[in-house]
Amino acid sequence: MTLQTDFPLTTLNTLQLPALAAHYLYVDDCALLPKLPPHQRRFILGGGSNLVLLGDFDGLVLHVGFKGKRLAFEDADAWYVEAAGGENWHDFVLWALAQGWPGLENLVLIPGTVGAAPVQNIGAYGLEAGERIHQVRAIDLETGSEKIFSPTDCRFGYRQSLWKQEGWHLSGRSLITAVTFRLPKQWQANCRYADLAAELEKRGISQPTPQQIADAIITLRQRKLPDPAILPNAGSFFENPIVDALTAEKLAAAHPGLPCYRQADGKVKLAAGWLIEQVGWKGRQLGKMGIYEKQALILVNYGNGKSQDICALVTAVQSDVRRQFGVDLRPEPVFIGSVTN
C-alpha cells in the first residue's frame, strides 16, 4: 500500500470521466486500515461502476483491493460463502455456481465489486443481494474497529442500506472488507420477470438449472446493456420511482401501458426507463452524453463527455419526466467531487 498524489481516476470509473484524486491508496491489507490518518475527506472506491465524478476529489480515495473467496461453513439448510470486498461481483457469482452453490444467478453480470453489493443492495430479475446476505464485515475508519453487521443491521430496502441511509457511502466512514452470503440448499428457480421467462422458453427450457438461468440473463443483459469497456456508462442511471397506490392508479388511468409493480408495503414501483422513453429521450444525445438507444435507463458517454454534460442531461430528463408525469426521477449513482469548467 503506497499513498499516491494527484492520481488519475479516469480508468477507474466506468463512465470514464476525467478527474484526479488528491490522494489515492490501493488497499489490499486490512491490518493497515486502522492506522490511516483521521479527519481526512475520504471516498471508498470499488469497481467505479456506480459513480459520477463531477471533478477532482480533494481527499483520499481508498480503492478496495481485498481478494479471496471461500466456503465459510455449512449447515443442513445452507452454504455460507464469504468473499472479500474487492472481488469482482460477476466472477464471484460464476465461481459460486461452479462450486455447486447457487442462489445468486439472477444477479449475474452486474458490474462492480462484492463490497459494493450491500451498499447499493444491488438487484436484478427479481432478486436483491440483501435477500442472500448473512453478514457484512467492515472497518469503521473513524474508530479503527471492526464491525459485523447482520441483515437486520444492514437495513436493506429497494437499492437502500445502512451505508446509504447513514451517508457512509459519501463520507467513506465504513469500509466493507468481506461479505458472507447464505445460499439455501433447497434451491428454487426465480423466473418471474417476463423477459427471463421468455428467453428460457425460447431455449426450450421449462425447468431451468441455476446455470441455465445465469446463461439466459447474461444473454439478456448483453443484448440490452452497453459494455462499459466499449461505451462508457454507469449501469442504471435512475432509480425506479416508488409512488403511493392512489398516485399510481391516477397515472395508469392517464397513461395506458404504464408498467406498475405493487410492493409488499402497498406502494407501487414504476419503470423509470418507460417514463424516459415516453418523453422521447431514449437514443437522444445532449453534447457528448446521451441516453442509450436500446435501454432508456442507461446514460452513456459518447467520448470525452464532461461532468457538465451529465448534469445538463440529467436535469433535462428529470424535468421532462416531471412535466409529463409529475414524477421525480432520482439518479442511482453516487456523485463526488465538484464541477470544474
> What does the alpha-carbon distance between residue 122 and residue 130 come to, in Å, rounded to a whole number?
8
Q: Specify burial of residue 315 (Cβ count, 10 A radius: 0-12, 13-18, 19+).
A: exposed
**Does 283 contact ligand NAP by CB under 6 A?**
no
- HSE-up of 10 (CA within 13 Å, CB side)? 8
| Nearer CB in complex with ligand NAP: 235/331 | 235
List the catalytic residue out of 42, 159, 173, 182: 159
- HSE-up of 37 (CA within 13 Å, CB side)? 11
Q: Which of residues 145-204 bind ligand NAP (CB under 6 A)?
A: 192-193, 195
Q: What burial letters (b/e) apply to 242-276, b meaning 16+ CB within 10 Å?
A: bbeeebbeebeeeeeebeeeeeeeebbbbbbbbbb
| Nearer CB in complex with ligand NAP: 55/228 | 228
Provide φ and ψ at 227, rounded to 5°. Answer: -75, 120
State in angstroms the smallest separation of the CB of 234 from ligand NAP.
Answer: 8
**Does 60 contact ligand NAP by CB under 6 A?**
no
> What does the alpha-carbon distance between residue 161 and residue 119 come to, in Å, rounded to a whole number?
6
Binding mask 68-107 for ligand NAP (x = CB under 6 A): ----------------------------------------
**Does 267 contact ligand NAP by CB under 6 A?**
no
Closest CA to 191 of 131, 248, 127, 255: 127
Q: Decide if 332 is catalytic.
A: yes
**Does 292 contact ligand NAP by CB under 6 A?**
no
| Nearer CB in complex with ligand NAP: 73/261 | 261
Strands 42-45 and 4-8: unpaired
Q: Tell me the CA end-to-end span of the chain in Å, nearest whole number.
A: 33
Q: Do 74 and 80 touch, CB atoms closer than 8 A?
A: yes
| Nearer CB in complex with ligand NAP: 27/248 | 248
Q: Which of residues 199-258 bind ligand NAP (CB under 6 A)?
A: 224-225, 235-236, 240
| Nearer CB in complex with ligand NAP: 139/191 | 191
Q: Decide if 249 is catalytic.
A: no
**Does 261 contact ligand NAP by CB under 6 A?**
yes
Binding mask 15-54 for ligand NAP (x = CB under 6 A): ----------------------------------------
State in angstroms the smallest separation of the CB of 239 from ligand NAP.
Answer: 9
**Helices 210-224 and 89-99: crossing angle, nearest 10°?**
160
**Does 259 contact ligand NAP by CB under 6 A?**
yes
Largest CA distance in the chain: 59
Residue nearest ligand NAP, CB atom distance: 235
Provide φ and ψ at 93, rounded to 5°. Answer: -60, -45
**Does 110 contact ligand NAP by CB under 6 A?**
yes
Give the interface size with ligand NAP as a residue count (CB under 6 A): 20
Residue 123's contacts (CB-CB under 8 Å, 6 or more residues apart) are 107, 129, 158, 159
State in angstroms the smallest separation of the CB of 323 from ligand NAP.
Answer: 22
C-alpha cell at position 158: 429497494
State in angstroms the smallest separation of the CB of 268 from ligand NAP.
Answer: 10
| Nearer CB in complex with ligand NAP: 120/135 | 120
Q: Do 124 and 112 touch, CB atoms closer than 8 A?
A: no
Q: Decide if 74 is catalytic.
A: no
The catalytic site residues sit at 159, 236, 332
In the complex, which residues of this chain contact ligand NAP (CB under 6 A)? Answer: 110, 122-126, 192-193, 195, 224-225, 235-236, 240, 259, 261, 271, 273, 295, 297
